[in-house]
Structure 1
Amino acid sequence: MLNANGVNAVITRLSQAALLAITLTVPAVHATNFDYNHIQVNVLANPSGIGGLGRFAFTEGAHFVAKGDTQFEGDWYTSGGVGFHAPINQFVDVYGELEGAWFRRPDDDKHDTGDFATVIGAGLRGWVAPPIEANLYVGSIIFDQDDTTSLVEIGGRFHSTETLSLGATWRANGLEQNRLIFSVRYLY
């Protein structure tokens, strides 16, 4: 019988294997269905807070990513890294990201200066209808070989114009409570 650390280790290994499999099987097509040059402002609910995200494509299939959020309770979450993006078909893109994270959760007396982790994950973005996007992201937050936690995000976006979209995402991970995130994204 697996304990919580064993389950997280299995999920981490499966996430890594899935990311590798997706990377190796994605067809070599150059045009993606979505723009990976954007900045985003997030409003966090339950508990409330604010955050942001930026992706900056540096080649046809690769991008930099930077994320951050806070609940204004002596906490923070920051991460940065690189990712890939590629179309699966004419409606769906696959993407993956590898990030280094530095964070401190509220009421964490153990880590006064924060904690470091590696975040690895993969996701899908697809058009449900011309202005409506659905997305899914699955990953792991890895502290060391024996300490990982899963990360799942499910959401959607309404693309009101070619440069502006509104989104809602449900996030579940082992660092914080499950929460709803509302966002405004600007594509440049």
Structure 2
Amino acid sequence: MSRWHELTGGTSGQEYAARFAAVARSGKDVHGEARFCAALVPPGARVLDAGCGTGRVAIRLAELGYDCVGVDLDDSMLAVARQQAPGLPWYRADLAVFEPDTLGVAADFDLVVAAGNIFPLLAPGTEAAAAAHLAAALRPGGLLVAGFGLDEAHLPVPPGLTLPEYDDCCAAAGLTLVDRFATWDADPYDRGGYAVSVHRRGGTSSP
């Protein structure tokens, strides 16, 4: 069972969406992740929102002209995503065993984004498998972007996955670290409690 399911019971979709809606109404920016991704690949690029939740990132990127697919294991989150953007493809999938082909989806994404503490909230011990499956969904030269907390101040669960451990998972999956930031606004990484990491799949092509 994932740490996310242990935390929420898989029933938090509406509550999660309401919280972000309230933040948006307050005037705060809720699209930092989408803006970050849009700076890495051009409009029209294929983007996989891995652990898409209610679809906030994928929906915004689709509005900006990206070809987006969302996958998540939480049915309550996917229900909200499908309600908010019925025209986008949303799939239920466990990232630790994710195989795009079984869903009829081509495994040639230009970018995979895992926002919202996806990796720390996986079932313990499945992080390497998830990294491998997400890497396999990328075309050669494609990018995996993951942002997650590293301490109690930035996580809803006790810290588990460290950055060196995450980098090891990525390296085993054929991914090379390109850059790392402290926020989705691309502030320089300061060895603090949150990191946004950009890894590239080996190959000659680049975005």
Higher gyration radius (CA): 1
Work out whether the TM-score is over 0.5.
no
More strand by share: 1
- TM-score of the pair, normalised by structure 2: 0.26
Provide TM-score, normalisation by structure 1.
0.28
Structure in which a larger fraction of residues adopt helix? 2
